A and B are shown apart, each in its own frame.
Chain A
């Protein structure tokens, strides 16, 4: 019989783990010999099945294999692994015997570990997930700056070409823009986020199509009517039909050939969620725009040449930018270039928040740990005699400590399991929090790494929780414990317990205060007056195509006709036109030469503007502060404009804005007169301050795409169908876009801050529950242990009321110290949190006082209730207890 057949490596591993070292060699060979015999007798498959059973037999008999070894010396013959195995079983048995304690501990740990796993998931997605591009570290985003500022501005095509021609730091640079496209055809028309890209766009990103291909410049030159679809659009609108490749679809009224479909993970390298999720890409060549250094509408992404650092690329781009400033002073004077790595631009903002959350999560874990340690300690007191006895009977200190540690780790792992399952259940919510608040470029998934980190954290936590108990166990002396009947006192232990109370109260206070601050921020954030009334308004946008409405007058007439028809629709109170919906990211800016105001010609006054019909302010209930609104569709040789209060304050601090004149170069006529001042509107979301803003009258100024704001007489939701009906009846080829209730738009603008504050509020609740139970647990326990002492005092004639007061006073001291330390901690840590707070100071009295009151009351109750209970017992019984 040949024994040359080797055991499969997995079997060798199991043998190595289970069989004592001195036996391993012979067992391995003998098993291999039997296996070989089996293979030749019954065939390979049968032999493998046999081997699996045999090896499983080894694993199942691990402790006995270890404990029966005759030849291994020392430690009673038990290997670490085997004895840990038996410790685990012992721990499970012990925990099962005390279901109440185990349930509380596992639930507490589950809460803490679950919260941490959630934060870890965010951090994991953030720090470890690969962006959906090849070698993302080599990618940089290039932006221009505003004139003499560091503001990020889009790129002019002429500059893009100059960069492409001159920069040696990059292997290639691609440009793209973001806009919308209208899909039409057999189905209903649909407006989607879209992008035009230079043909090298996908090559620079090193992103290949999931289906079909991407753009090739030579092909694009002969036929530019090609389109690449997102996976989402392909699935949603075309039923994931693979036959769509090579077919023609209609976009903005023209036929395009579908070239490819991107994989579901592909996102555009953008900071804003809606542009990340562009749904289709069309090619652009930018050939005619080679010399256009003035109109800025591009974004640029570049791939670093091998071995070139971001710093040297940045230096080169700065040099190119200053050369361009000199060559094209009209368009480029004072403009620089900003070079960002993807991390800096797309993920950078979230880092401090994540770190803060990780710290907060860690704080919750510390409290949880303190809780469980206290609970275990309380139980440990019950088990003092057990420990002492075991030590006296020769159980080694190390062994005892290990057993306690294993018990604690088993608890923590059970908690981690509960937390992870909870996280799994809520993973969709996590995902949307991550996309809205951090980045939508990568998905936040509960993956193996998160689970591994959570499990590792549980082991560490378990070990940490077991420390105090282990210390106590090893210090137990038999004499002391047998003499004291298991109620061993000792000044040192009392000090330790006081420290525990102070530490727990302090940590809880810090955490609860910080979490309360976040929660308060959120409350402030949603109660800010946005400056307009969103209630009862429904909005949508219409953009008649340039094919059907080529001239300015054509689309002007289209909009005025539709406006008139909509105003006559039953249920409609009023309709206004506006060039951009509120809360859209891309606002229009213009420079304004204010008559009588000295300004730096290189940096003239700038303001955002919108084109509106004058009833816009009525429809949205934006207050008119001064002056009178212009007539609708006014025509004259002076342009009447409306400005917001912020612009009036900024440029006419003396309050004389009304009637002032200014020049807007590109308008016809360029002379404008301020006829009214209206209230500020929080346009960039709740957490932004309002900027100078002016409103141009629709008619004298026009835009192809206009948004309609419809104030309903009753429920605006009921108007959606009749409104789209009116639009379709007028011209079925113009799709209704962005149909939404203004209240929804308003709610969406706080999604990000809401997510952050929501996490904060959730942490606050968890911290509060965990802290309160923890503080109660530890104080109640210390008081309970004094039952005998209180009994003696009562027997000696002390008044019960006085005794209760004494107990409350004594634990009150520790609680008070904890509260004070915690407050200091909260103020110190709060400084770091300041950036995440909105409308709330770090020393927000409401947060501070409520946290202190709640935790202080818990502390008082925790000493009062058990003290009263202790005194209800007859002194005789108390003495005997």
Chain B
């Protein structure tokens, strides 16, 4: 079955991809805000992360606090191989849609 991605889900996946191996909500939110230039609702990010996990595009592991109390309870997310296919498909779709119309957009802007 072909997996479709919402725009926000796509952004979240790309951010995790940019951040490297695995990441948790705080840097994901910060990176999203940096790229989109607007405030992002943490709750929305959680929802997207979970939905993506349900679709099998992300895996997560929970890091429990250790006894020294130094480590924080965090949930780390990483992309699965399955995530790459829909991202690729989405990118191709966008690129082909954009093909040849960028000058028109600049003219009107």
- A contacts, CB < 8 Å to B: 3, 18-19, 23, 25-27, 29-31, 33-34, 37, 50, 53-54, 57-58, 60-61, 64-65, 68-70
Contacts and interface: CB of A to CB of B under 8 A. Distances in A.
Interface stretch (B13-21, B71-79, B83-91, B93-101): B71-79
Given A3-B72, A30-B26, A68-B54, A61 B43 contact: yes
Given A29-B72, A53-B39, A68 B50 contact: yes
A54 to B, nearest CB: 5
A225 B19 CA distance: 87
Given A54-B41, A54-B42, A70-B54, A61 B47 contact: yes
A61 B44 contact: yes
A34 B42 contact: yes
B73 A29 contact: yes
A730 B72 CA distance: 94
29 contacts: A3-B72, A19-B46, A26-B24, A27-B25, A29-B73, A30-B24, A30-B25, A30-B26, A30-B42, A30-B72, A30-B74, A30-B75, A34-B25, A34-B29, A34-B30, A34-B42, A37-B30, A57-B41, A57-B43, A57-B44, A60-B43, A61-B44, A61-B47, A64-B47, A65-B47, A68-B47, A68-B50, A68-B54, A70-B53
Contacts of A54: 41-43
A836 B25 CA distance: 70
Contacts of B43: 18, 54, 57-58, 60-61, 65
B52 to A, nearest CB: 10
Contacts of A33: 26, 72
Nearest 3 A-B pairs (CB), nearest first? A57-B41, A57-B43, A68-B50
Given A29-B74, A54-B43, A57-B42, 15 more contacts: A3-B72, A19-B46, A25-B73, A26-B24, A30-B42, A30-B72, A31-B42, A33-B26, A37-B26, A37-B30, A57-B44, A60-B43, A68-B51, A68-B54, A70-B50
Contacts of B74: 26, 29-30
A876 B74 CA distance: 71
Nearest to A68: B50
Contact of A61 (B26, B41, B53): B41
Interface string B24-44: 111001100000000101111
Contacts of A50: 39
Question: In terms of DSSP, what is the predominant structure of the interface of chain A?
Answer: helix
A23 B30 CA distance: 20
A377 B50 CA distance: 41
Contacts of A68: 47, 50-51, 54
B24 to A, nearest CB: 6
Contacts of A60: 43
Contacts of A70: 50, 53-54
Contacts, number: 62
Contacts of B53: 70
Contacts of A65: 43, 46-47
Identify the interface centre among A25, A26, A31: most chain B CB within 10 Å of its CB: A26
A277 B51 CA distance: 69
A184 B107 CA distance: 90
A659 to B, nearest CB: 99
Interface of B: 24-26, 29-30, 39, 41-44, 46-47, 50-51, 53-54, 62, 72-75
Nearest to B58: A70
The interface residues of chain B, by DSSP majority, are classed as helix
A68 B39 CA distance: 22
A60 B42 CA distance: 12
A70 B60 CA distance: 11
A788 B28 CA distance: 65
A26 B41 contact: no
A18 B26 CA distance: 19
B46 A27 contact: yes
Contact of A69 (B26, B30, B42, B50): B50
Contacts of B24: 26, 30
A69 B44 CA distance: 13
B75 A23 contact: yes
A33 B43 CA distance: 15
A453 to B, nearest CB: 35
A595 B29 CA distance: 106
Contacts of A3: 72
A27 B72 CA distance: 11
Contacts of A58: 42-43
Which of B25, B26, B41, B72 gathers the greatest number of chain A CB atoms within 10 Å? B26
A694 B44 CA distance: 89
A71 to B, nearest CB: 9
B84 to A, nearest CB: 21
B67 to A, nearest CB: 16
A55 B25 CA distance: 15
A19 B24 CA distance: 16
A59 to B, nearest CB: 8
A26 B73 contact: yes
B99 to A, nearest CB: 35
A324 B34 CA distance: 93
A47 to B, nearest CB: 13
A25 B75 CA distance: 10
A53 B44 CA distance: 12
Contacts of B39: 50, 53
B109 to A, nearest CB: 31
A69 B74 CA distance: 16
A325 B61 CA distance: 91
A64 B25 CA distance: 17
A79 to B, nearest CB: 14
Contacts of A19: 46
B9 to A, nearest CB: 11
Nearest to B54: A70
B73 to A, nearest CB: 5
Nearest to A4: B72
| Interface hub of B46, B51, B72 (most chain A Cβ within 10 A) | B46
A16 to B, nearest CB: 14
B65 to A, nearest CB: 8
Nearest to B42: A54
Nearest to B41: A57
A785 to B, nearest CB: 47
B34 to A, nearest CB: 13
A51 to B, nearest CB: 10
A53 B75 CA distance: 22
Contacts of B25: 27, 30, 34
Contacts of B50: 68-70
B19 to A, nearest CB: 15
A29 B63 CA distance: 12
A613 to B, nearest CB: 87
Contacts of A26: 24, 62, 73-75
A27 B24 CA distance: 10
A34 B45 CA distance: 13
Contacts of B73: 25-26, 29
A39 to B, nearest CB: 13
A34 B39 CA distance: 13
Contacts of B54: 68, 70
Contacts of B26: 30, 33-34, 37
A490 B54 CA distance: 47
A526 B50 CA distance: 74
Output the residue of B29, B43, B73 with the most chain A CB within 10 A: B43
Q: Of residues B42, B50, B74, which shows the largest number of chain A Cβ atoms within 10 Å of its Cβ?
A: B42
